[in-house]
Amino acid sequence: MPGIRAVLLAGFLSGNAIGLLYLTLEGDLLESLQLNPLALFGAFLAVGLAGMMVGALCGLPRFCLEKLGAADGWQGPVVVSGTVYACVGFMISSAVIGALW
């Protein structure tokens, strides 16, 4: 189903993109890559998996409605999933940066 994949992908990528943007703007991305790139990769995967879970929650009602034949489209859940997890990804990255530096 292309709709549920789009919702999950939006959740995975939006939190990571905002987190990397925040690290770049704060100037800590290069330092993080130099000190421990494996930890940064692990954080990228952890934030992405959490984003996929949020995306699944955002897409579940639409998925159920589509199985019943009453769904119109997937644009709403994709936007909600991306927006919600972009905010969560920003909060996670700002809390982690605040704790580390």
Per-residue pLDDT tens digits for 18-76: 888 888 888 777 887 888 788 778 777 887 788 778 777 777 777 777 666 655 666 77
> Whole-prediction pTM value?
0.71
- Between 3 and 10, the higher pLDDT residue: 10
Distance CA 78, CA 82 (A): 6
Per-residue pLDDT tens digits for 65-95: 766 665 566 677 778 778 888 888 788 777 7
